[in-house]
Structure 1
Amino acid sequence: MPSLDLQDRAAGALMGAFIGDALALGPHWYYDLAAMRADYGDWISGYTDPRPERYHGGMKAGQASQAGILMALTVDSLVSQGGYDEADFCRRLDEDFFPQIDGTPMAGPGGYTSQSMREAWRKRVLEGLPWGRCAGNADTTEAAERIIAIAVRHALRPERLADAVTRNTLLTQNDGTVVAMTVAFAAVLGLLVEGQPMDGKVSGLLMARVKSGLLPFHTVTSGRLQAPRPGEAEAPVAGRFPSPDALLGPSSMALAATDPGIRIEPAWKVSTVYGMPCAVYHQFPAAYYLAARFPDDFESAVLHAVNGGGQNLARAMLTGALAGAQTGLSGIPQRFIDGLENAAGLLEQARRLADQMAAEA
């Protein structure tokens, strides 16, 4: 595949995530959709100011939430070190990020600090625990939002991708299901950056990487998930994660998006089908569905993610990464770039990271 196309997809995934984050800043966490429509109209089509009495109050349209800020910190670390360097990443959290938060929710850069970051701050700063003992059991996509950058940087080396994403996630989240689903999302994103479509074949491609030892998931099935035969020579694959189910779900959501007998209309109602809350098991399915439904239409994918309400910031960020990887940076409407705060700086870092990744092609 031409390296320019590869770089375009990589930069598209990164900028898509930054755009999704900022698009949902204003209408973030409206679980009453009637209230969201009353405040922002029937269709949110661009960046908006948060209401002063709500999350991110006082911030302006086009700015990044804390999720976007932490992803930018991750990009900077990756670019400076030429890849994932855990010591450098942790140093940046200790020196650049933790001094800006105080352990309370409605404070810190981006206007809100997530549960897992509050717990990590408390263990690291107040209790003085070393990294490796600061994670909590939050079931959110907090780590998944920042590891988008790691997945893009190591997309061409799935074994390295899985290892780096696992270790980075475990810094702040230690629930086994959350870690497995986060690594699976990273693996899907890596495939899209490589140039694979978000379709019903994606899980089969991932399972092939499990069989070859590139992804650390356990499986005993053979071929197309068929039962193993008694006495079959091929031994089960024993991985870090006890089940490959997190790798199997993406194809189901992709098939649902293209099955004429299954219709979610309008597409933003995917949030009510898979759930509006923050947990990974609500967020990843919706993002997979939207990315598969709009493979060539970044705008539709990310705006339907925003207009679904609830934890639409995570949904839009994850969807933006998947959609941007498919359309490339060149397929993202310019108005989304123009309205993003510090777009020039983010673009420069995204392109540098994409160049580093493509050099391994």
Structure 2
Amino acid sequence: MTGSSSSSGDMSQVRRAVGEAFWAMCAADSASMPVHWYYDVDDIRRDFGGWISGFSSPGERHPSSILSLSNSAGSGRSAWSSGGKRPDVVGSVILHDKLKLWKSSSGSVHYHQGLQAGDNTLNVLCSLRVARSLAGGGFTDVSQPEARAAVLSDYVQFLTTPGSHNDTYAESSHRSFFADWQESRPTSPRQVLTFAEKRSKLKLSSSSPDGQLDAIGCFPMSLPFILLSASANEEKAVAAAVEFVKLTHPHPKVSEWVSIYSRALHAVLGGASVRQQAEHALRRLNVWDVCQSYSRKAARFLVSSEERLKVHQSAVNYLGLACYTKGALSSMFYLAHEFHDDLRGGILTNTNCGGENCNRGAALGALLGAGGAYLGASVPQQWKDELRDAQDFIPDILKTQ
């Protein structure tokens, strides 16, 4: 972590908050993975014999899968993308053995076929690798261009290496990046950074930005920039995340959303209340009043009751169930506010709300994990033991802090 004037007592608390944030990010993603993009919550209960209460493997079939409509040559769906003339990136550049699943005639293939209970999705695997690159790179300040260069070079290597992970799906941001990357195929840190900066400039100045890039999936890879800037000042931490996300999700609105989230997470890592930070963010997103009405409704029912879960499901459905960042961020901060002191409850409620719960969960988990560290709470040890990908990365990431 970058230098700070805090006392060592404070620093050990901050370090603990960072560690728990990483574990909770992985736990929330993994819990949601089998029901990622379930848009009808009754399908969750039917497919899993009740509400999800831990880690499960995905089924082979997905009740609302539109994987076969996704554009395997770039962003969005093949039916309305302009990528028709471009070569496929899925199957040749990334996701080397997965194209057959994308083209499956059954049309109901699970997005995360190939993963097991306790595994993480591609976005969170990318996030863990970002953290490893940053933690092991010896950077005094992760907002420096050299840090982004190291991360992007590792990202390119990871996604273009056959067999490097088992996930079936890569969202639009990855497909768009590699559709552009395959023309010149830069690999060294400096070359990849130069390519990404030029591409970002072009896309950010476009009169018709790609709406698929304004998605909550922008958070996982930018999270480590905030977490590993926990002891830097707020502006540096926010700049580190924002400058990076411009390279992966070059859409004009994304910087604002990442900035709102980064400020909240950075404050919580320093000991601020999750509840207060969530309220502040919900006010900025202009949804505080509606969140309060759902909150009052939920409070009428017993904690952990199905009636209360149904209120939260309604709230998330209303605020934003899909991937688009503003709605998903509103839902995420609503859940953070409601579960500010209940990490396990917050993670499982997020899962059982369905929709874009993996990336929403990663952002929620990081907040609740960081906040929990100050309340003497932590990610259940049983969960940590079952999170194989996290086990491979997190201890090493934290060793360098």
Q: Shorter-chain TM-score: what band? A: 0.7 to 0.9
Q: Are residues 1:153 and 2:215 paired?
A: no
Q: Deviations over 1:188-212 (max 9, x none)?
A: 11111111002346676xxxxxxxx
Residue 128 of structure 2 contacts residue 394 of structure 2 at CA under 8 Å; is this kept in 1?
no
Alignment match, 1:297: 342
What's 1:45 paired with? 53
Report deviation, 1:86. 1.3
**Counterpart mapping for 1:189-204 below 5 A:** 189-200=265-276
1:98-156 CA-to-partner distances (Å, cap 9, x unmatched) read 3449xxxxx97422101011000111123558121344631112221111111111123
Residues 278 and 336 in structure 2, CA contact (< 8 A), matched pair in contact too: no
Corresponding residue number in structure 2 for 1:96 = 158
CA contact (8 A) 1:74 1:146 kept: yes
Provide the C-alpha distance between the structure 1 equivalents of 2:386 and 2:114, rounded to a whole number of angstroms.
Answer: 17
Letter in 2 for 1:290: L
1:306-321 alignment, distance < 5 Å: 306-321=351-366
Describe the SS at the equivalent of 1:89: helix
Residue 275 in 1 paired to residue 320 in 2?
yes
Q: Deviations over 1:141-173 (max 9, x none)?
A: 222111111111112321211221122101121
The aligned residue for residue 285 of structure 1 is 330
1:131 pairs, out of 196, 204, 207, with 196
Indicate whether 1:345 and 2:392 are aligned.
yes
Q: Which residue of 1 aligns with 2:217?
A: 142
Q: Which residue identity is paired with 1:120?
A: F
What's the CA shift for 1:258? 9.4
Whether the 8 Å CA contact 1:202–1:251 is kept in 2: the answer is no
1:61 to 102, 117, 125: 117
Return the match for 1:119 from 158, 165, 176. 176
Supply the distance in 2 between the matched residues of 1:350 and 1:29 (Cα, whole angstroms): 30
Alignment-mate amino acid for residue 67 of structure 1 = N
CA contact 2:279–2:337 (8 Å) conserved in 1: no
Contact 1:24–1:316 (CA under 8 A) maintained in structure 2 = yes
Equivalence for 2:257: 181
Aligned to 1:13: 21
Q: Indicate whether 1:30 and 2:30 are aligned.
A: no
RMSD, matched Cα: 2.8
> Any idea what the Cα deviations from partners look like across 1:265-308, whole Å, max 9, x if unmatched?
32343321212111111211111111121122110010000000
1:326 aligns with 2:367: no
When normalised by structure 1's length, the TM-score is 0.77
CA distance in 2, matches of 1:18, 1:250: 29
Preserved CA contact (<8 Å) 1:254 1:289: no
- Structure 2 distance, partners of 1:181, 1:331, is 27
CA deviation after TM superposition for structure 1 residue 27, in Å: 1.2
Shift in Å, 1:10: 1.0
Question: For the residues of structure 2 that align with 1:100 and 1:282, how far apart are their CA atoms?
Answer: 35
The residue aligned with 2:74 is: none
Contact 1:72 1:346 in 2 (8 A): yes
Which residue of structure 2 lines up, in the alignment, with residue 230 of structure 1? none
d(CA) in 1 for partners of 2:278, 2:125: 30
Tell me the residue number matched to 2:167.
Answer: 110
The 1:61–1:259 alpha-carbon spacing in structure 2 relative to 1, beyond 3 Å, is closer
Q: Which residue of 2 aligns with 1:213?
A: none
Report if the CA contact (8 A) 1:173-1:179 is conserved.
no
Give the share of equivalent positions with the same residue, in percent: 19
Q: C-alpha separation between the residues in 2 aligned to 1:325 and 1:302?
A: 13
Q: Give yes or no for contact 1:51–1:58 (8 Å, CA) kept in 2.
A: no
Hey, what's the Cα distance between the residues in 2 that align with 1:251 and 1:151?
25
Provide the residue aligned with 2:101 in structure 1: none
- Residues 210-238 of structure 1 deviation map (CA, whole Å, 9 limit, x = unaligned): xxxxxxxxxxxxxxxxxxxxxxxxxxxxx
Aligned length: 309
- Is contact 2:274–2:368 with CA below 8 Å preserved after alignment? no
Of residues 280, 284, 298 in structure 2, which corresponds to 1:248? 284
Alignment correspondent of 2:89:
none
What is the distance in 2 between the residues matched to 1:22 and 1:326?
20
Cα contact 1:16–1:320 (8 A) shared by 2? yes
Structure 2 CA distance for partners of 1:343 and 1:178, relative to 1, 3 Å:
closer
Q: Structure 2 residue aligned with 1:335, among 382, 397, 400? A: 382
The alpha-carbon deviation at position 342 of structure 1 amounts to 3.6
Mapped partners of 1:142, 1:300: distance in 2: 22
CA distance in 1, matches of 2:128, 2:217: 14
Give yes or no for contact 1:23–1:47 (8 Å, CA) kept in 2.
yes
Secondary structure in 1 matching 2:16: helix
Change (3 A) 1:316 1:41: farther
